[in-house]
Amino acid sequence: MAHRHTTVIFILAAKTILLVSAQLRPEDYRLPELYTPSSYEIALDLAAEAFTASSNEFSGTVTIRFSFINITDYIALHSQHNFITISKITFNSTEVLSGNYSINNVTDILTINVGHAITTGITYDLVIEYTGVLSTGDMYGLYKSSYVDSNGLTKYLVTTQFAATFARRAFPCFDEPALKTTFDFSVTFPTGLNVLFNTQQYSSVSNATTGESALLWDQNESSNRYQQRVVTVVAHELAHQWFGNLITFKWWSEIFLNEGFATYFEFHITHEVLPAWELDKQFVIEEVHQALLGDALENAHALQSPTTTPAEISSKFSIISYSKGGSVLRMVEHFMRLDNFRAGLQRYLNQL
C-alpha cells in the first residue's frame, strides 16, 4: 500500500433522488448558517478488489474541523445515502450513538444531535467513518470506469467529479460553495497503481482530467474543428482556476459568473495565443447566436434565478449560464473597452 498527501482549496459542490413526496420548502435543502469549517482530512481506502469487476466498495474516514457561529445542539451537513453508509460518528472525542443522527434521503442532509454544551469560537472535530460505493452508472462523485488495454485486458480507474453537488457521494461534508475550505487528502491504494491530483503539489493541466474525448487529439487523424475543440476545452477549464476556484460565488444561482467567464476566456484567451483561428469572431456564431436561440425558449431562465434542489442546480449548467453569461460579459468588455475591463477583472480577482 502507498500513500499520497496533498493540501488544496476545496470547493464542495450531488445527486437527485425523490423517494418520498413530503412537502419540502426550498430552505430545507440549505444548510443553516451555523458552521464555519476550517479544514477537512479525508482518508480513502481503495482495496485491490475495487479495481476489478467484483467490487465497487471503498471505505473512508473524514475529519471535519469547524466552529459554530451560534449556539445550537446539532450539526447539519451533507451525505448521500445511496453511496455512503456511516459506521461511526465521533464528535469532540465522544461517540454519537446511531439513534442521534439521521440522513434525509431527499435533501441529502445528515443531522447529528450532539447535546447542549456547544460553545462558539472553539474548533471542534467531527470524525465520520463510513463505507462507500463507487458510482458505475454515471460520472459523478467518486466514480469507476474502465478501458481495454492493448493486450485485451480490462483496466479500471477511479476518478472524482464533485461539482456541483456530488462531493457528498464521496464523503460527508458541508457541500455548499460558501463553505469552501482547505483539505488534506490521502488515498490508500494497491501497489502498481498511480494517483494523480490536479492541485498545486501535483499541479497542471497534464494531470487534470476532463472528458477523454476532449483530449485525444491525433495530428494525422483529427479534424481542425476537433483541434479547436481540444484547445478551447482546455482554456475553459483553466479559466476556472480563477473564475470558480479562486473566486467562488456564494450560491448556485450565480453559476453564470463561473461559466460565463470561462466561456468568454475559452475564446478570447485562445484568440490571444492563436489569433489566426479568429476565435474572437467565432464567438459570435458559437455563443452569441446560441444564447439568443436558448433565450427565445419559453423555459429560459434568467442569468440569476432561484435555485435550490440538486436538480435545479444541475439545470443551471445551461446555455443561458454559459453562452448568455459569456455574451453579456463580452458586451461589458465592449462598452467598457478592453483595458478597463481587464483592470476591473484584476481588481475583482485581487480583492480576495
Q: Which of residues 101-130 bind ligand NAG (CB under 6 A)?
A: 105, 113, 115, 117-118
Q: Taking every pair of C-alpha atoms in the chain, what is the biggest distance, in angstroms?
A: 68
Taking CB under 6 A as the criterion, the residue among 38, 123, 204, 241 binding ligand NAG is 204
Distance CA 268, CA 261 (A): 10
- Interaction pattern, residues 224-263, with ligand NAG; x per rule: CB under 6 A: ----------------------------------------
* C-alpha cell, 345: 477583472
Query: Beta-carbon neighbour count of residue 268 at 10 Å?
Result: 19
In the complex, least distance from residue 337 CB atom to ligand NAG, rounded to whole angstroms:
37
In angstroms, what CA-CA distances link 120 with 13, 40, 69, 116, 123? 26, 19, 6, 12, 8
> Binding residue for ligand NAG (CB under 6 A) from 8, 34, 214, 311?
34
Q: Which of 52, 70, 136, 340 binds ligand NAG (CB under 6 A)?
A: 70
286 is in an annotated binding site: no
Compute the radius of gyration of the chain from its Cα atoms: 22
Q: What pairs with residue 155 in β-bridges?
A: 147
Q: Are 103 and 168 in contact (CB under 8 A)?
A: no
Q: How many residues does the chain have?
A: 352
Closest to 13 in 3D by CA, of 264, 284, 301, 249: 249
Ligand-binding annotation for 271, yes or no, is no
Orientation of helix 325-336 relative to helix 338-350, angle to 10°? 120
Catalytic residue among 237, 254, 266, 286, which? 237
Q: Of residues 36, 67, 92, 315, which one binds ligand NAG by CB under 6 A? A: 92
Q: Which stretch binds ligand NAG (CB under 6 A): 96-104, 129-137, 314-322, 344-352?
A: 96-104
Q: Is 5 annotated as a binding residue?
A: no
Query: Applying CB under 6 A, does 298 fall inside the site for ligand NAG?
Result: no
The alpha helices in 84-239, defined as continuous H runs, are 167-170, 224-239
Q: Identify whether 272 is a catalytic site residue.
A: no
Name the β-bridge partners of 67: 36, 123
The residue count for binding ligand NAG (CB under 6 A) is 24
Annotated binding site for Zn(2+): 236, 240, 259
Q: Which residues are catalytic?
A: 237
Q: Which residues bind ligand NAG (CB under 6 A)?
A: 19-20, 32-34, 70, 81, 92, 97, 99-100, 105, 113, 115, 117-118, 196, 202, 204, 206-207, 218-220
